Amino acid sequence: MKRLSHNPILVPEHDWEKRGAFNPSVIKISTKYHLLYRAVDQEGISRIAAADSKDGLSWNHKHILIEPDQDFDQYGCEDPRVTFIDDQYIILYTAISIWPPEAKGIKLAIATSKDLKTISSKKPLTPFNAKAAAILPKKINNQYVIALTVNTDHPPAKIALAFADQISDFYSPDYWHKWYSNLDQHQLNLNRLNSDQVELGATPLETSQGWLWFYSHIQNYYQPDKRIFGIEAVITKAEDPTSIISRTTKPLLTPQAEYEIAGEVKNVIFPSGAITLNQGWRVYYGAADTFSAAAEITKSSLQHSLEQSNLKEVLKLNKSPHNPILTPDPNRPWEAKAVFNPAVVYEQGVFHLIYRALSPDMVSTLGYAMSHDGVHFETRSTEPIYVPRMSYEQKQVDGNYSGCEDPRIVKVGNRFYMFYTAYDGQGPPRVAMSWIKVDDFVKHNWLWSPPTLISPPGIDNKNTCIFPEKINGKYLMLHRVGGRDIAIDWLMDLNHFDGLNWLEKEESISRIEHSWQGEKIGIGAPPIKTDSGWLLIYHGVSDIDSQYRAGAMLLDLNDPTKVLARTQYPLLEPTESYEQKGLVNNVVFPCGAAVAQGQLFVYYGAADQSIGVATIELNKLLSYLKDSQQTE
């Protein structure tokens, strides 16, 4: 996207726009261009102003169009989008009814005009927090359509569409209450990460391919010093504008010019208008909440940006509405503080969960729970089924964590092998291995073998498991030595660890810097064999916001050191209160997964306090991975 040399095309001139003339919405009628924009006076009160032009670049006849003179907009009228339909101009804008502004007083309003010189009517629209909205310039299936951004000031924000037979239907609070109760069904889902914010930009444009949307995608939204305001694009189906045909995954424009960097709010660009040109499009945007500017993109350039990614939807696992499915039990001291990071095995039609339990004195043991549907656990052990037995997992320093942590369990032959983090609260954590016969396990005879240390002394190691079968005559083990990448070792047999031979790091799978998995990655659940490859659920820690998220990889069946595909965006992230607040905030940490009736069940620790489960159709996930084909 190329900035115009005329920029900024609009600057503050009058007292009523002394602090800003920005976020322009432009419409062309015949040979004349009309521009509506947000004008902010010295006191910070916003009005909607208008101007006109013969070329769409030089603007004349500035005047105030909408004043904040009603209860619903008495403290400001902001960020208009204008559409011409049914022989009238319809303007949707943000109405501020409370000062200082807060979510419950930031809502949408609608105004109409015949000539953009005077207003025929204006009314409140949404009874809930919303802004950044426009009415589409054409009916779809004989219905009017409003695109709006909901919960902008009570995130996560969602872009969604509302349909009605008559414009007047949108004036009904009952309409909106019913619509809001099914918000997710109306969403145009452009979210990629829970740390980002998306908002409607320009009024969508009709093209031969479908509806073209230029919208605002703000990266790292919850970290003001790291925010990146970007303009992105998406094309949706003409008759179903929530269905994505193609989309960008990188900004077409970010703040770089002086008028975008310096102003009332630094480093901000916000698309709010767009028009179609002969060979492309012109996007009008607010710059630094002070100026208005424009940039153009050709059809070929936009097509190239869209083709760089074949991503349509960003797939997410479906979290159970019953989450958290297990919580601490205050009546059992050994699990009174937390239960989290569970392994799972699906055996004889039953989900067997082995979870980390934490006592108030910070000792970790392992508990057990059983379920027939994978969600409701009807049986739960009253005592730990595995406890620290060796000196290297016994507490050495009062008050520190210690014990047996974060199990992964793999079935090999007639045994379940369990790998866990052994920690004494003093030295670096190490990996231990124990096994139990399958028959004893399903009968709840907890006859575990003595544990064996398999990682070397003095080196941090955790997040370990083996593949459930030999590959080319060898066992393959995944772990994380040194705390950054997934390490890989080949073993001839599981008796390799004798106190002299340890896990090393023959090969590795690396993190991806400056992303949700940029700080470190580690295995989540043990690999699952599929016809498409080994499915590995793994966790990543961001080098931007330090949140724990989870994604998936597809590894080659015959050489799992080869990554065939990898999710560009996380499948699971901390979006719910039980994942965002706990012993460690903003954590989802899977340790187990199982396949039953074609569904993948992923079990995870939430904020190091409780346990959740999320599901997805296995074939859907495999198809998504194969389509994404991101290997690094």
Q: What is the CATH classification number for the domain harbouring 365?
A: 2.115.10.20
Region 603-631 average pLDDT: 92
For residue 597, what are the contacts with CB-CB under 8 A and spacing of at least 6?
A: none
- Whether residue 543 is contained in a domain is answered as yes
* Residues 287, 349 within the same domain: no
The pLDDT tens digits of the residues spanning 205-217 come to: 999 999 999 999 9
CB 488 within 8 A of CB 502: no
* Residues 17, 69 within the same domain: yes
The pLDDT tens digits of the residues spanning 60-78 come to: 999 999 999 999 999 999 9
Q: With 0.75 as the threshold, say if the pTM is over it.
A: yes
The pLDDT tens digits of the residues spanning 438-455 come to: 999 999 999 999 999 999
* Residues 26, 71 within the same domain: yes
- Whether residue 445 is contained in a domain is answered as yes
pLDDT of residue 458: 94
Closest CA to 509 of 565, 466, 446, 425: 565
Say how far apart CA 45 and CA 36 lie, in whole Å.
Answer: 16
Residue ending a domain, choose from 246, 280, 307: 307
* Residues 388, 510 within the same domain: yes
Tokens of 347: 């055996």
Please measure the distance between the N-terminal and C-terminal CA atoms of the chain and give it in whole angstroms.
27
Residue 290 has pLDDT above 60, yes or no: yes
* Residues 388, 477 within the same domain: yes
For residue 385, is it left (φ>0), alpha (ψ between -120 and 50) or beta? Answer: alpha
Residue 42 has pLDDT above 80, yes or no: yes
Site of tokens 């082995």? 354
* Residues 547, 587 within the same domain: yes
* Residues 287, 183 within the same domain: yes
Q: Which range among 195-204, 493-502, 558-567, 571-580 shows the weakest confidence by mean pLDDT?
A: 493-502
- Whether residue 394 is contained in a domain is answered as yes
- Whether residue 315 is contained in a domain is answered as no
Site of tokens 């797939």? 315
Residues present in the chain in total = 632
* Residues 238, 188 within the same domain: yes
Percent of the chain whose pLDDT exceeds 90:
96
* Residues 298, 367 within the same domain: no
627 pLDDT band, cuts 50/70/90, is confident
Say how far apart CA 306 and CA 166 lie, in whole Å.
Answer: 35
Domain count, the chain: 2
pLDDT of residue 443: 97
Residue ending a domain, choose from 274, 307, 340: 307
* Residues 302, 404 within the same domain: no
Residue ending a domain, choose from 284, 307, 330: 307
Strand residue runs (E) in 54-141: 60-66, 77-85, 88-96, 106-113, 121-124, 130-135
- Whether residue 410 is contained in a domain is answered as yes
- Whether residue 314 is contained in a domain is answered as no
Closest CA to 604 of 432, 355, 366: 355
Residue range(s) defining the domain that contains residue 250: 2-307
Please state whether beta strands 244-247 and 228-236 pair in parallel, antiparallel, or not at all (unpaired): antiparallel
CB 531 within 8 A of CB 512: no
The pLDDT tens digits of the residues spanning 517-561 come to: 999 999 999 999 999 999 999 999 999 999 999 999 999 999 999
- Whether residue 266 is contained in a domain is answered as yes
pLDDT of residue 629: 61
For residue 28, what are the contacts with CB-CB under 8 A and spacing of at least 6?
A: 34, 56, 275
Q: Compute φ and ψ for 257, nearest 5 degrees.
A: -70, 155
Tokens of 130: 């919303």
Tell me which of 499 and 2 has the higher pLDDT. Answer: 2
* Residues 245, 379 within the same domain: no
Give kind and range of the element (H or E) at residue 307. helix 299-307
- Whether residue 259 is contained in a domain is answered as yes
CB 151 within 8 A of CB 130: yes
Say how far apart CA 604 and CA 614 lie, in whole Å.
Answer: 8
Please provide the average confidence, as pLDDT, over all residues in the chain. Answer: 97
* Residues 28, 56 within the same domain: yes
